[in-house]
C-alpha cells in the first residue's frame, strides 16, 4: 500500500469500527415504547428484574424478533409476538420470581424456563445495574425503536436527551422495589408524552402533578386508574362519629344474612367484635383483613374470637427476611361489604374512640368521624373487587393468616376492654341522614387515582369559584409534601394548594384541623398549616382553625363543596400527607347532593364554633399533644 495512503486507510478503519459499535436507530415512532423498568427488586438475587413495553398506537404491532437490551446482553421476542392496541407486556428474568412479587405472571421470561406457561425469549439476558443503566428496545432490523437511561448512567443518542431518570425519594418511599414508569393521561391511561427525556417518566421531580409518583409490585395501577362513577338509583346513608356511628355499624353487621367482608386498618371494639361473632354463629360467613402493623392486644383478641368460630382473620404485613414486602406503607382504608349488596366506607377504624357503645343520652366522648353506607350496585361491586385484589393470599405473599406468628396472640389471660365513651361531649347529631335517588357517586382510592385532577378530590375542588363555599375538616393537612426539610414551593401539598386556589378564585374557604393529636413543633404540623393559611386570610376569604370538638380529636377526612346550587361531599380515609395519597391503600366516596352537603355542613359549623384557635406566624404556642397515629 502507498505509504501516503496509510493514515487515511487507518482513519477509515477506526471510523468504521466506531460506527459499527453504535446501535442503529429506527425512524422515531411513538407506536411502541419502553413503559416500565424494574431494576432493583425487593427479592434477593434480582431474578424479578423486568422491562415493560407498551403499544401506544391504535393498531396492533408485530414485535416478532424484536429485542430488549441493556447495551450488553440482548434477548429476542419469539416468532408471532404481537402487541395489541394500547397493550402493555412485561418481560422478566424469572417468571416464577416475578409472580412472587407482582402477583401475576409476566408475558415473557428471558433468564431460564421457570414457568412452562410463559413464553421464553432467546439470547443473553440483560442484567440491569442498580446504580444505573441503559435500556433499549430494538426492532427486527436491530435498530433502536426506543431507549431510556436511569440512575448514574448516561445516554447520548437520538432516542434520549439530557439527564437520566431518577427514583422519587420521599418520606416512607423505598428506593428498593420502585418501578420506573411513564406518565399517563387521565383520559385514557395512555402515555402522556414522549420527549425522550426524563420528563416522560412519573418519577419526574420537576412536575408536581403528573410527576413525583412511585409504583411498587402488587399495585393494580392500570386496573384502577379511573375512578368508579355511578348515577343509578341508590340509597345513601351518612352516620356521624361519635354521635351514632356505633349503632349504624352494629345494625348493618347484625342485618347481614350471608357474608361480611371487612378490610380495615384496625378492629378492636369489643362490642362490635361480639356483634360479629354473633353473626358468625348464625351462619354468616365473615372474613377480615387488617394492617399487621396496627394489631394491638385487643385486635389480637378480636382475631382470636373470629378464628375460634371458623372465620378467617388475615393480616397484611411484611417479612423482609423472607423477601416479603407489604404492598402499601399502610392498609389504611376502612370499608365493609355486606351480603355483596351494601358497602360501608368511612374515616374511622372499628375502635372505641370512633364507635363508643355507651348510652348517649348523657353525652359521650370520642373522635369526630363519619361513614357512607350505600346499596349502589356499581359502588358495591367496585369496593368488592378492590377488596378481592388486596385480599388474595394466592397472589400476594404479604397477606398471611392470623396465628401463623407467635406474637399474633394476645397475652395469656387477656381481658378485653368494653368500657368506652364518656360524658364531656353532648351529642349534637343523634340521627343519620338517609337519601334515595339517582345520586352521582364516585369511588376514589389511593394510590391509584386519588390525585387525579379531572375528577376525584382535586377535580371536585377545582369547581369552586366566586360565591361558592368550601369546607375542609381533617385529621391533618401537611403544610408541604416531599422531605421534611422541604417547603411549600418545592414540594407543595396538592390538596392544600387546591383549597388556596379556590379562595383565590373567590370561594369562601374554611379549614378545620385536629389539635388533639397535633405536634405543634413540627414544621408540617396542623399548627404550621393553619399559620400558612391564615397568612393569606387578608388576601382571600380563607381561614384555618385547630379544634377538638368531641373530646378525642378530629379523625374525619372530609371536604364539602357548595358550587352554585349543587352540593358535594368527599368522605373517606384519605389524610393530607403525601404518604396517604401516594403510598397507602385508602378509600373515599364523593357524592353530589345538596342535602348531604347541608347535613355535613351542620357538623362542620358546630365543630368550627367550638374553637377560636387560629394559629398565625406571629406566635408559637406552648402546647403539645400526642403525635399523629
Which domain CATH number covers 239?
A: 3.30.870.10
The domain of 356 spans: 228-408
Q: Are 461 and 498 in contact (CB under 8 A)?
A: yes
How does strand 61-62 pair with strand 508-514?
unpaired
Render pLDDT for 103-147 as a digit per residue (tens, 0 to 9). Answer: 999 999 999 999 999 999 999 999 999 999 999 999 999 999 999
Q: Which strands form 586-592's sheet, in the order they lie side by side?
A: 228-230, 441-446, 586-592, 566-572, 557-563, 469-474, 508-514, 542-547
The string of DSSP codes covering 577-598 is SHHHHHTSBEEEEEEE-HHHHH
Asked if residue 178 and residue 60 are part of one domain, the reply reads yes
H helices, E strands: number in the chain: 11, 31
| pLDDT at residue 172, as a whole number | 87
Nearest to 562 by CA among 519, 523, 616, 598: 598
Asked if residue 504 and residue 397 are part of one domain, the reply reads no
| pLDDT at residue 576, as a whole number | 98
Q: Are 181 and 216 in contact (CB under 8 A)?
A: no
Q: Are 314 and 396 in contact (CB under 8 A)?
A: no
Cis, peptide link before residue 249, omega less than 30° from 0: no
- Classify residue 416: in a domain, yes or no: no
Asked if residue 404 and residue 446 are part of one domain, the reply reads no
Q: Does the pLDDT of residue 8 top 90, yes or no?
A: no
Q: Cell 384496625 appears where? A: 266
Confidence of residue 26 (pLDDT cuts 50, 70, 90): low
Asked if residue 248 and residue 335 are part of one domain, the reply reads yes
Asked if residue 365 and residue 327 are part of one domain, the reply reads yes
Render pLDDT for 382-407 as a digit per residue (tens, 0 to 9). Answer: 999 999 999 999 999 999 999 999 99
Section 234-262 average pLDDT:
98
- pTM of the predicted model as reported, rounded to 2 decimal places: 0.93
| pLDDT at residue 623, as a whole number | 39
| pLDDT at residue 25, as a whole number | 62
6-15, 171-180, 200-209 — most confident range: 200-209
SS (H, E, C) 254-289: HCCCCEEEEEECCECCHHHHHHHHHHHHCCCEEEEE
Cα distances from 323 to residues 41, 256, 311, in angstroms, run: 10, 38, 28
At 59, list the grid cell.
Answer: 393498531
| pLDDT at residue 7, as a whole number | 42
Rounded Cα distance between 480 and 498, Å, is 12
Asked if residue 453 and residue 374 are part of one domain, the reply reads no
- Classify residue 548: in a domain, yes or no: yes
Confidence of residue 282 (pLDDT cuts 50, 70, 90): very high
Which long-range contacts link 49-52 to residues 24+ away (Cβ below 8 Å)? 49/92, 49/93, 49/126, 49/127, 49/128, 50/90, 50/91, 50/92, 50/93, 50/98, 50/106, 51/90, 51/91, 51/92, 51/126, 51/128, 51/135, 52/88, 52/89, 52/90, 52/91, 52/181
Section 72-91 average pLDDT:
97
Render pLDDT for 348-390 as a digit per residue (tens, 0 to 9). Answer: 999 999 999 999 999 999 999 999 999 999 999 999 999 999 9
Under 8 Å CB-to-CB from 223, ≥6 apart: which residues? 389, 448
| pLDDT at residue 322, as a whole number | 79
Percent pLDDT > 70 in the chain is: 93
Asked if residue 182 and residue 270 are part of one domain, the reply reads no
Rounded Cα distance between 416 and 540, Å, is 51
CA atoms within 13 A on the CB side of 59: 4
| pLDDT at residue 619, as a whole number | 41
| pLDDT at residue 370, as a whole number | 98
Q: Are 115 and 99 in contact (CB under 8 A)?
A: yes
Confidence of residue 449 (pLDDT cuts 50, 70, 90): very high
What is the CA 553 to chain-centroid distance, rounded? Answer: 24
The string of DSSP codes covering 287-346 is EEEEEGGG--HHHHHHHHHHHHTT--EEEE--BGGGTB--SSS-B--EEEEETTTEEEEE
- Classify residue 483: in a domain, yes or no: yes
Q: Does the pLDDT of residue 12 top 90, yes or no?
A: no
| pLDDT at residue 618, as a whole number | 53
Rounded Cα distance between 256 and 3, Å, is 97
How does strand 24-25 pair with strand 143-151?
parallel
Asked if residue 194 and residue 265 are part of one domain, the reply reads no
Confidence of residue 29 (pLDDT cuts 50, 70, 90): low
Coil/strand/helix, residue 387: helix
Rounded Cα distance between 490 and 524, Å, is 14
- Classify residue 415: in a domain, yes or no: no
Q: Are 237 and 344 in contact (CB under 8 A)?
A: no
- Classify residue 220: in a domain, yes or no: no
Confidence of residue 321 (pLDDT cuts 50, 70, 90): confident
Nearest to 327 by CA among 448, 476, 442: 448
* Bridge partner residues of 240 (DSSP): 370
- Classify residue 215: in a domain, yes or no: no
Confidence of residue 68 (pLDDT cuts 50, 70, 90): very high
Q: Cell 372530609 appears where? A: 558
Asked if residue 186 and residue 87 are part of one domain, the reply reads yes
Q: Are 474 and 558 in contact (CB under 8 A)?
A: yes
Between 362 and 11, the more confident residue is 362
Nearest to 325 by CA among 292, 289, 288, 290: 292
Under 8 Å CB-to-CB from 534, ≥6 apart: which residues? 543, 544, 614, 615, 616
Asked if residue 298 and residue 177 are part of one domain, the reply reads no
Asked if residue 261 and residue 194 are part of one domain, the reply reads no
CATH of the domain at 76: 2.60.40.1260
Percent pLDDT > 90 in the chain is: 90
| pLDDT at residue 445, as a whole number | 98
The string of DSSP codes covering 210-265 is SSS----TT--TTTTSSPEEE-SEEEEEEEEETTTHHHHHHHHHHT-SSEEEEEES
Q: How many domains are there within the chain?
A: 3
- Classify residue 414: in a domain, yes or no: no
Under 8 Å CB-to-CB from 376, ≥6 apart: which residues? 230, 232, 234, 236, 343, 439, 441
* Bridge partner residues of 316 (DSSP): 291, 399
* Bridge partner residues of 469 (DSSP): 508, 562
| pLDDT at residue 621, as a whole number | 41
Under 8 Å CB-to-CB from 307, ≥6 apart: which residues? 313, 402, 403
- Classify residue 62: in a domain, yes or no: yes
Q: Cell 378467617 appears where? A: 312
Q: Any idea what the Cα angle at residue 590 is, between residues 213 and 268, rounded to 5°?
A: 80
CA atoms within 13 A on the CB side of 595: 11
| pLDDT at residue 17, as a whole number | 36
| pLDDT at residue 22, as a whole number | 54
| pLDDT at residue 32, as a whole number | 96
Confidence of residue 159 (pLDDT cuts 50, 70, 90): confident
Q: Any idea what the Cα angle at residue 33 is, between residues 28 and 37, rounded to 5°?
A: 135
Render pLDDT for 522-580 as a digit per residue (tens, 0 to 9). Answer: 999 999 999 999 999 999 999 999 999 999 999 999 999 999 999 999 999 999 999 99
Asked if residue 189 and residue 305 are part of one domain, the reply reads no
Section 65-84 average pLDDT:
97
The string of DSSP codes covering 17-63 is HHHHHSPEEPPP-SSEEEEEEE-S-SSTT-TT-EEEEEE-SSS-EE-
| pLDDT at residue 324, as a whole number | 87
Amino acid at each position: 500500500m502507498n505509504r501516503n495512503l496509510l493514515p487515511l486507510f487507518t482513519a477509515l478503519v477506526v471510523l468504521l469500527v466506531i460506527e459499527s459499535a453504535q446501535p442503529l436507530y429506527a425512524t422515531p415512532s411513538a407506536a411502541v415504547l419502553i413503559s416500565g423498568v424494574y431494576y432493583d427488586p425487593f427479592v434477593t438475587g434480582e431474578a424479578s428484574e423486568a422491562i415493560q413495553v407498551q403499544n401506544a398506537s391504535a393498531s396492533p404491532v408485530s414485535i416478532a424478533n424484536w429485542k430488549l437490551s441493556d447495551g450488553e446482553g440482548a434477548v429476542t421476542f419469539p416468532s408471532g409476538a404481537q402487541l395489541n392496541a394500547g397493550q402493555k407486556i412485561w418481560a422478566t428474568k424469572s417468571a416464577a420470581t416475578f409472580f412472587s412479587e407482582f402477583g401475576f405472571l409476566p408475558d415473557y421470561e428471558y433468564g431460564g424456563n421457570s414457568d412452562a406457561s410463559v413464553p421464553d425469549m432467546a439470547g443473553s439476558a440483560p442484567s440491569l445495574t442498580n446504580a444505573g443503566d441503559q435500556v433499549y428496545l430494538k426492532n427486527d432490523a436491530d435498530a433502536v425503536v426506543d431507549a431510556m437511561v436511569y440512575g448514574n448512567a448516561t445516554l447520548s443518542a437520538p432516542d434520549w436527551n439530557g439527564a437520566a431518570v431518577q427514583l422519587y425519594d420521599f418520606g416512607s418511599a423505598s428506593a428498593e422495589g420502585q418501578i420506573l414508569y411513564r406518565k399517563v393521561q387521565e383520559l385514557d391511561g395512555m402515555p402522556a408524552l414522549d420527549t425522550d427525556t426524563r420528563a416522560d417518566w412519573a418519577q419526574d421531580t420537576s412536575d408536581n402533578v403528573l410527576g413525583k409518583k412511585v409504583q411498587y409490585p402488587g399495585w393494580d395501577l392500570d386496573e384502577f386508574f379511573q375512578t368508579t362513577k355511578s348515577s343509578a338509583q341508590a340509597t345513601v346513608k351518612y352516620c356521624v362519629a361519635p354521635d351514632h356511628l356505633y349503632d349504624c355499624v352494629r345494625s348493618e353487621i347484625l342485618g347481614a344474612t350471608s357474608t361480611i367482608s371487612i378490610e380495615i386498618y384496625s378492629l378492636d371494639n369489643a362490642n362490635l367484635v361480639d356483634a360479629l361473632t354473633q353473626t358468625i354463629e348464625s351462619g354468616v360467613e365473615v372474613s377480615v383483613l387488617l394492617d399487621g402493623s396496627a394489631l394491638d392486644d385487643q385486635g389480637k383478641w378480636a382475631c382470636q374470637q373470629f378464628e375460634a368460630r371458623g372465620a378467617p382473620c388475615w393480616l397484611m404485613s411484611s417479612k423482609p427476611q423472607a423477601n416479603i414486602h407489604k404492598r402499601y406503607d399502610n392498609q389504611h382504608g376502612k370499608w365493609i361489604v355486606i351480603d355483596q349488596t351494601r358497602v360501608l366506607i368511612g374515616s374511622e377504624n372499628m375502635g372505641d374512640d370512633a364507635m363508643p357503645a355507651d348510652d348517649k343520652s348523657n353525652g359521650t366522648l370520642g373522635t369526630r368521624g363519619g361513614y357512607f353506607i350505600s346499596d349502589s350496585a356499581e359502588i358495591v361491586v367496585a369496593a368488592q373487587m378492590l377488596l378481592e385484589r388486596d385480599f388474595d393470599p394466592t397472589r400476594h405473599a404479604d397477606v398471611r393468616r392470623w396465628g401463623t406468628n407467635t406474637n399474633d396472640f394476645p397475652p395469656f389471660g387477656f381481658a378485653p376492654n368494653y368500657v368506652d365513651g364518656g360524658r364531656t361531649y353532648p351529642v349534637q347529631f343523634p340521627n343519620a341522614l338517609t337519601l334515595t335517588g339517582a345520586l352521582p357517586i364516585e369511588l376514589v382510592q389511593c394510590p391509584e387515582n386519588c390525585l387525579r385532577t379531572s375528577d376525584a378530590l382535586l377535580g371536585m375542588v377545582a369547581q369552586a369559584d366566586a360565591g361558592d363555599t368550601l369546607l375542609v375538616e381533617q385529621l391533618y393537612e401537611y403544610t408541604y409534601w416531599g422531605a421534611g426539610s422541604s417547603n411549600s414551593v418545592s414540594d407543595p401539598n396538592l390538596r392544600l394548594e387546591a383549597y388556596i386556589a379556590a379562595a383565590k378564585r373567590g370561594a369562601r374557604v374554611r379549614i378545620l384541623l385536629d389539635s388533639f393529636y397535633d405536634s405543634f413543633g413540627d414544621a408540617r404540623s396542623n399548627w404550621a398549616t393553619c399559620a400558612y393559611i391564615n397568612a393569606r386570610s387578608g388576601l382571600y376569604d380563607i381561614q384555618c382553625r385547630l379544634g377538638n370538638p368531641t373530646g378525642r380529636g378530629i379523625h374525619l377526612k372530609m371536604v364539602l363543596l357548595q358550587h352554585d346550587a349543587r352540593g358535594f361531599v368527599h368522605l373517606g380515609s384519605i389524610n393530607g400527607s403525601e404518604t396517604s395519597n401516594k403510598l397507602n391503600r385508602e378509600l373515599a366516596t364523593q357524592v353530589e347532593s345538596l342535602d348531604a352537603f347541608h347535613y355535613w355542613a351542620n357538623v362542620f359549623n358546630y365543630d368550627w364554633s367550638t374553637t377560636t384557635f387560629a394559629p398565625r406566624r406571629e406566635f408559637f404556642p406552648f402546647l403539645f399533644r400526642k403525635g399523629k397515629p
